[in-house]
């Protein structure tokens, strides 16, 4: 199981990587953040469930949502 801090860091990396707004494959995203697709899909499902990303109809590509973009604009603490 991923530790909370690791999952949070990876979630941020994913959102930063896909912030261009276009569709990006799950495999490409997983490779970019350096984890297996089987593990990244759990994080992607979470991000999708809370509206930060959306999947295409085939669940093979993702893109950031407006909420995900707003999340990236939050100030550092």
Low-confidence ranges of the chain (pLDDT < 50): none
We report the CATH number of the domain holding residue 64 as 1.10.10.10
CA-nearest of 46, 48, 42, 19 to 30 is 42
> Structural domain of residue 13, as residue ranges?
4-72
Residue 31 in any domain: the answer is yes
Q: Is residue 77 part of a domain?
A: no
CA distance to 7, 45, 74, per residue, from 42 (Å): 10, 5, 24
Strand 24-25 and strand 53-55: pairing?
unpaired
Contact 62, 29 (CB under 8 A): yes
Three-class SS of residue 37? Answer: helix
Per-residue pLDDT at 32: 92
**Residue 52 resides in a domain:** yes
Q: Is this prediction's pTM over 0.85?
A: yes
Nearest-5° angle of CA 9, CA 60, CA 40?
Answer: 25
């Amino acid at each position: 199981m991923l530790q909370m801090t690791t999952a949070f860091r990876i979630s941020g990396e994913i959102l930063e990587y896909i912030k261009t707004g276009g569709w990006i494959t799950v495999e490409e995203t997983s490779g970019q953040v350096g984890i297996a697709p089987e593990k990244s899909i759990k994080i992607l499902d979470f991000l999708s469930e809370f509206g930060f990303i959306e999947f295409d109809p085939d669940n093979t590509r993702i893109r950031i949502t407006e909420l995900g973009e707003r999340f990236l604009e939050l100030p550092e603490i």
